[in-house]
Amino acid sequence: MLRSYEDVLGALNKATPDIREMAKQAEITGYYSDQVRSLLANTGACQFLYPKEAGGALQNADQLVRLLRQAAYIDGSFGWLLISYFLAATHSAIYLTCPGFSRLFGDNQQPIVAGQYQPNGRGEKAEDGFTLTGKWSFASGIHNADWLVAGFFETTRGQILKDNVGKPRVSVAVLPRRDIALTGSWDTTGLRGTGSISYECTELFVPESACFSFDHHVVQRGHDIHTIGILELSALTHGCWALGMAQRVVDEMLLLAKRTVRAHDAAPLYAKETFLLDLARACAKVAAAQAFVIDAARSAQREILQLGVLGDPAKSSIRLSATFANEVAADIAEIAYRHIGTSSIAKRNEIEQVLRDIQTGRQHMMISPQTYVEYARAHFSGAK
């Protein structure tokens, strides 16, 4: 039975204590236990976000932004996992042809899909498919996945194939996790619970129906916000994540300000105007970032509905809003470090993990500062 947006959001909020208990253990082990599979199924979070042809019920951009924001607010690693699963499953659902789609989603299956799109593999053309060899990294949530996506260069006799404009042909394979070797470890300062380890395969046959083109993908099913593009949807979701993390820092600062008295201060933080000034600025920045992300997402959905394709200005707006949201989260984290002092680095306080997660998440390629450069450069594209 499909749940409504309100039901799923309510279920996630109700599960917050359980998620945070799992998160504590994941900080130690480096990944969420398989209990997260049951939790995702019970809350309906994954299923709700999938395209309707894959059993989902997501209706608009607002729901996507707010649901992913709330997941990140509950726990940074949990929110990151939900994004990873959402992206990999959604792109598999809308770009795979019917045979590949049926393997994953037939008989009302609700698979968990993870992996990496970077073309760190090579797929030698074979009859009806590819022979795939490669090593991939940053597979967030891989420990609990049923399937993995893996980007690769298409080759023939060892030579990389090119498209009609001379670019290397990059495709994405969707592989059963049982056919893949998990390698390496995940030892980072933040987002420790994502278990973003590496994986590899050697000369694994992948049917063509289990692959889709990265640059020239054709929408087979789905509509609206799901089909705005691989890179654009990835950027948008990481913007949503930053919104949740930024709001969490604000709320944790509010709690700590009531009981934190810095050395040589006579009054708690909430009585200091310098803190109140920065706190109000932080609240304003969160509100501005959220408005920007939601506006960019709404505009993208509207453009897809009207034109069936997303133009470059809309793509740039999504990337810009997501990068800005992550910058805001990092700025607010700096405010917390500056005012809360040692309380912000003490493991007894939950804000300590939140701040580490923000700095780690900000390293993602989709929200790098280069986004600003590319956005500004576009304004001078016709200049001599």
> pLDDT tens across 105-121, in order?
999 899 999 999 999 99
pLDDT score recorded for residue 13:
97
Dump the DSSP string for 308-334. SS--HHHHHHHHHHHHHHHHHHHHHHH
Mean of pLDDT values over 213-224: 88
Single pTM value for the model: 0.95
Smallest CA-to-CA distance from 95 within 176, 236, 207, 216 is with 216
In a domain, 220, yes or no: no
State whether 237 and 348 are in the same domain: yes
Mean of pLDDT values over 270-275: 90
Burial of 31 (0-12, 13-18, 19+ CB in 10 A): buried
pLDDT score recorded for residue 366:
82
In a domain, 383, yes or no: no
> pLDDT tens across 58-86, in order?
999 999 999 999 999 999 999 999 999 99
State whether 237 and 317 are in the same domain: yes
Would you say residue 359 has pLDDT above 70?
Answer: yes
What percentage of the chain exceeds 90 in pLDDT? 81
pLDDT score recorded for residue 384:
52
- Rounded (10°) angle between helices 16-29 and 35-43: 150
Q: In the listed set 71, 88, 108, which residue is the last one of a domain according to the structure?
A: 108
Domain with residue 301: its CATH number is 1.20.140.10
pLDDT score recorded for residue 199:
98
State whether 96 and 135 are in the same domain: no
In a domain, 218, yes or no: no
Would you say residue 212 has pLDDT above 80?
Answer: yes
Q: In the listed set 108, 139, 173, which residue is the last one of a domain according to the structure?
A: 108
Domain with residue 58: its CATH number is 1.10.540.10
Lowest-confidence segment of 107-121, 180-194, 263-277 by average pLDDT: 263-277
State whether 285 and 339 are in the same domain: yes
Mean of pLDDT values over 270-287: 95
pLDDT score recorded for residue 264:
72
**How many CB atoms lie under 10 A from the CB of residue 257?**
19
State whether 49 and 181 are in the same domain: no
> pLDDT tens across 19-48, in order?
999 999 999 999 999 999 999 999 999 999
> pLDDT tens across 92-109, in order?
999 999 999 999 999 989
pLDDT score recorded for residue 231:
94
Q: How far apart are CA 196 and CA 10, in angstroms?
A: 28
In a domain, 238, yes or no: yes
> pLDDT tens across 334-355, in order?
999 888 878 778 787 788 999 9
pLDDT score recorded for residue 363:
86
Please, which residues bridge with residue 162 across strands? 168
Mean of pLDDT values over 282-290: 98
Smallest CA-to-CA distance from 132 within 62, 225, 32, 205 is with 205
Would you say residue 383 has pLDDT above 70?
Answer: no
In a domain, 223, yes or no: no
CA angle, 18 then 253 then 80, to 5°: 45
Q: In the listed set 88, 108, 128, which residue is the last one of a domain according to the structure?
A: 108
Structurally, how many domains does the chain consist of? 3
> pLDDT tens across 113-146, in order?
999 999 999 999 999 999 999 999 999 999 999 9
CA angle, 235 then 236 then 241, to 5°: 95
What residues contact 74, with CB distance under 8 A and at least 6 apart? Answer: 12, 13, 16, 19, 20, 244
Give me the domain span that covers residue 261: 228-378
pLDDT score recorded for residue 382:
61
State whether 121 and 94 are in the same domain: no
In a domain, 104, yes or no: yes
pLDDT score recorded for residue 140:
97
- Is 102 within 8 Å of 48 (Cβ atoms)? no
pLDDT score recorded for residue 1:
60
